Amino acid sequence: VAEPDLTGRHVVISAGGTREPLDPVRYLGNRSSGKQGYALARTALARGARVTLIEANTGLPDPAGADIVRVGTAVQLREAVLKAAADADAVVMAAAVADFRPETYATGKIKKQDGQEPAPVALVRNPDILAEVAGGGTGARLRPGQVVVGFAAETDDVLANGRKKLQRKGCDLLVVNEVGERKTFGSEENEAVVLATDGAETPVPYGPKETLADVVWDLVVPRLGPESA
Ligand code: C5P
């Protein structure tokens, strides 16, 4: 039985992967399953938290007791996160957010034309939600005292890139995992290192996503500010 050390706390968790539509049938997406975010939601509930789970395209069963908000795109995810984070003690951004979206949306299905080269797809930057909530390089939080956690999937120089990303985003903790053939995306298991702004590095060996989720909460709890009400 988990310690109820998140009782009286509101935590916001994003899960899944955004889809950025090109036309009514196509989108730019990613391989995030949402399983790590859902594991974070279940473990937070078990530890007594009020949980807002903002899910993008997961198709996973709702964790009993969480407030669920469904979104599709990065822009919708941003709106939902900013709204829910206004009174949150902690925000954990486990969702894989598309860095770019198609500049234009075709209201009719894009057709291939015989003998013609396909038109290039122009992309524009999506907002960086984590950096906005955490204050980016300035560290100026939208809500002072809120604990902000990011995730980073890296393929090389995992720790060095993770440290830089932690600073750039301005979050308190960054869960860094190496993306590989068997690891991370869609799998039931994960292996990661949790980096903290004070320099602490907590390695989490290969194991269930629930175990990693509990390590994240173990590191969040001592960083929480006083209870608001
Ligand atoms: O920069 P990168 O995509 O590697 O950062 C990953 C972290 O930042 C994740 O926590 C993800 O949820 C968050 N993110 C975001 N908005 C973006 C891109 C990433 O909040 N546009």
* Domains, the chain, ordered by start: 10-103+122-223 (3.40.50.10300)
- In this structure, the residue with its CA closest to atom 19 of ligand 1 is 97
Q: Are strands 123-125 and 100-102 parallel, antiparallel or unpaired?
A: antiparallel
Using CA atoms, how far apart are residues 95 and 120, in angstroms rounded to an integer?
Answer: 28
DSSP 112: P
Q: Is the CB of 126 under 6 A from ligand 1?
A: yes
Our CA dihedral for 216, 35, 135, 86, rounded to 10 degrees, sits at -90
Share of the chain above pLDDT 70, in %: 96
Using CA atoms, how far apart are residues 59 and 223, in angstroms rounded to an integer?
Answer: 32
For 51, the token pair is 């949980």
Rounded mean pLDDT of 2-18? 96
Q: Is the CB of 85 under 6 A from ligand 1?
A: no
Residue 177 among the catalytic residues: no
CA 159 to each of CA 124, 132, 175, 178: distance values in angstroms, whole numbers, following the listed order? 28, 23, 10, 9
DSSP 96: B
Q: Are strands 123-125 and 67-71 parallel, antiparallel or unpaired?
A: unpaired
- pLDDT of 226 > 90? The answer is no
DSSP 59: -
User: How would residue 221 be classed by pLDDT, with cut points 50, 70 and 90?
Assistant: very high
Does the structure's ipTM exceed the value 0.90? Answer: yes
Answer for the pair 194, 174: CB distance below 8 angstroms, yes or no.
yes
- pLDDT of 132 > 70? The answer is yes
Using CA atoms, how far apart are residues 92 and 148, in angstroms rounded to an integer?
Answer: 6
